Amino acid sequence: MDEPTLLAALAADLDRAFETLVRARQDRLYSIALRMLGDPSDAEDAAQDAFVRAYRALADWEAQRIRELRLDAWLATIVVNIVRTRARRRSAAGRRESLTFLDELDHPRSVPADTPEGRLTRREASEAWARRVLALPERYRAPVVLRHVDGLAYDEIAGVLGRPQGTVKAQVHRGLALLRAMLEAEGPEDGPAEAPSTPPFAPARRTTDIPIPRLQEVTR
Amino acid sequence: MIRSAGALTDQALAGPLADLRTTAPGTLVPHVLIDLGLADAYAPIDSPIGPLYVAFNGLGVVAVEQAADGPSFERAHATRYGRPAYPVTALPRRLATAIRRRLAGDRRARIPLDLRGRTAFERDVWAKAVEIPRGEVRPYGWVAAEIGRPKAVRAVGTALGHNPFPLIVPCHRVVRSDGLIGQYSLGGPANKRTILAAEGLDPDELEALAHAGVRYIGSDTTRIYCLPSCHHARRITDRHRMAFRSVAEGERHGYRACRVCRPGSASAAA
């Protein structure tokens, strides 16, 4: 279903169409959350929260406003804000009780159809890249994830993060340079053996000159 | 080989980074839909009439049902509510605790209910049923009078018959106005008797009184009369027990109505 059709369906009957939206965008929101947070359960929780917030917002909106929505940037804004809030009170006991389903729902829905050997090396390589991205300071990590993992355009990322487009471009560029530097520091064979030296969202990094938009400001 | 910065362009990085787009776990969609009440989850609980299925979502409990097994519960649920029901291993802990306490007689145990699509009248009837203590019964007419709709006795019966939350909303504690046990939506009248017996009430004894025309029990020491299953009535020893066929008879003997079970509400109704 293309975006205008999906938006029209949401505007016409939110309850009926919402599952289609979740199915169509779950991998994107989950991937953004996972690459920013690192922990799969935290990421699932964040993605779940994001969809729930999206539904509640859409339920209050008029049809016209829903049809005019820039869906992907809007959803990314929601999940990025949740990820930031979550990271800030990371250890706080706030995680919801998740349900344990009896069916095969608990397992990943698909595994790459590769040879076992190829699959393994690819997953290892992917995990190494995931660790490097997590090691990026937050102000670079979010733009890099949104640009290169999610594939949003620069003007959309600027809207999501509430930063000027030029700043976002520079931050993506700088983020990639840091990734390259990490790769070089690791040497040829051994890959990134250790956990990121900078924990995600380290307090020292949070003092940023860039205003962080609140959800209401961006979605209003 | 040492890679140089120049060798790895932004474009070369794009590939591995794009590969970080991954597949969401299969639990994400049901979690979201259940949270929003666009789908339900369900798990079995124990009850005096055997295992029951409790369906719930982020808004609260949706239904309590008897079913042969999970798949037949799911089919019936999908037909009735137009939503899928996903089996889960257990109810959320807080909900399970609240249900256990409510079934054990704690009327203050808070159980959120998904009341979408229910009428204000149904909500009033169900809320009133929750006030009836464990081990006691009240007539349909009592409920009607108590919610300020004394003429709506039949509608009260219908609302209780449609109660989607049996046991949690104890519609089994509402009986016919002539004192007989009456119908029960969760698998028939035999189940109603079983549940009442499990709560410490003897349904046969209750119906024997009804057949004898006894509607109220008074105490000649306190000179207060009650509905027969009121815990104040059940404390009266045989020596001091007075049987009345009507409120008028009690009043004629100079008795006043119990303020706890409010027997006047049973007679006020049509």
pLDDT per position as a tens digit, B98-117: 999 999 999 999 999 999 99
Q: What gap in Å lies between CA B10 and CA B19, rounded to an integer?
A: 15
- B5 found inside a domain: no
A98, A122, A149 member nearest B21 (Cβ): A149
Tell me, yes or no, whether B129 and B190 share the same domain: yes
Tell me, yes or no, whether B142 and B261 share the same domain: yes
pLDDT band at B23 (very low <50, low <70, confident <90, very high): very high
Q: Which helix (H) or strand (E) holds B77?
A: helix B70-81
Min CA distance, B29 vs chain A (Å)? 6
Tell me, yes or no, whether B63 and B174 share the same domain: no
Tell me, yes or no, whether B142 and B202 share the same domain: yes
Tell me, yes or no, whether B135 and B208 share the same domain: yes
Return the residue in B11, B13, B17 with the most chain A beta carbons within 10 A, the one to mutate for interface testing. B17
Q: Residue B98's domain spans which residues?
A: 29-103
Catalytic residue flag (residue B171): yes
Q: What gap in Å lies between CA A161 and CA A157, rounded to an integer?
A: 6
pLDDT band at A105 (very low <50, low <70, confident <90, very high): low
Tell me, yes or no, whether B41 and B165 share the same domain: no
- B264 found inside a domain: yes
Tell me, yes or no, whether B125 and B98 share the same domain: no
- B20 found inside a domain: no
- B133 found inside a domain: yes
Tell me, yes or no, whether B161 and B213 share the same domain: yes
Task: Give yes or no for residue B9 having a pLDDT over 90.
Answer: no
pLDDT tens digit sequence for B135-165? 999 999 999 999 999 999 999 999 999 999 9
Nearest CA in chain A to B33: A19
Structure tokens that stand for A15 in this block: 């309850």
**CATH assignment, A117-219:** 1.10.10.10
CB contacts of B92 in chain A (<8 Å) are: 97, 99
The pLDDT, as a whole number, for residue B12 is 84
Strand B224-226 to B174-175 pairing: unpaired
CB contacts of B14 in chain A (<8 Å) are: 148
Among the residue ranges A52-56, A179-183, B55-59, B264-268, the one predicted with the least confidence is B264-268
Tell me, yes or no, whether B152 and B246 share the same domain: yes
Please answer yes or no on whether B29 and A151 come within 8 Å at the CB atom: no
pTM (2 decimals)? 0.85
The pLDDT, as a whole number, for residue A101 is 86
Please answer yes or no on whether B24 and A19 come within 8 Å at the CB atom: no
Structure tokens that stand for A80 in this block: 């990025």
Tell me, yes or no, whether B86 and B212 share the same domain: no
Return the residue in A82, A101, A119 with the most chain B beta carbons within 10 A, the one to mutate for interface testing. A101
- B17 found inside a domain: no
Tell me, yes or no, whether B156 and B197 share the same domain: yes
The pLDDT, as a whole number, for residue A204 is 40
Question: Which amino acid, residue B242?
Answer: M
Q: What are phi and psi of B65, to 5 degrees?
A: -140, 155
Please give the tally of structural domains in chain B: 2
Q: What is the CATH number of the domain that holds B217?
A: 1.10.10.10
The rounded mean pLDDT for chain A is 82
Chain B, window 59-88: residues with a beta carbon less than 8 angstroms from a chain A beta carbon: 70, 86-88
Please answer yes or no on whether B10 and A129 come within 8 Å at the CB atom: no
Q: What is the CATH number of the domain that holds B33?
A: 3.30.160
Size of interface A-B (CB pairs under 8 A): 143
Domain ranges for chain A, please list them. 3-88, 117-219
Tell me, yes or no, whether B140 and B39 share the same domain: no
- B15 found inside a domain: no
Q: What is the 3-state secondary structure (H, E, C) of chain A?
A: CCHHHHHHHHHHCHHHHHHHHHHHHHHHHHHHHHHHHCCHHHHHHHHHHHHHHHHHHHHHCCHHHHHCCCHHHHHHHHHHHHHHHHHHCCCCCCCCCCCCECCHHHCECCCCCCCHHHHHHHHHHHHHHHHHHHHCCHHHHHHHHHHHHHCCCHHHHHHHHCCCHHHHHHHHHHHHHHHHHHHHHHCCCCCCCCCCCCCCCCHHHHCCCCCCCCHHHHHC
pLDDT band at B223 (very low <50, low <70, confident <90, very high): very high
Please answer yes or no on whether B22 and A181 come within 8 Å at the CB atom: no
B1, B16, B25 member nearest A108 (Cβ): B25
B5, B26, B27 member nearest A180 (Cβ): B5
Whether ipTM exceeds 0.90: no
**CATH assignment, A3-88:** 1.10.1740.10
Return the residue in B32, B59, B116 with the most chain A beta carbons within 10 A, the one to mutate for interface testing. B32
Nearest CA in chain A to B4: A184
Task: Give yes or no for residue B57 having a pLDDT over 70.
Answer: yes
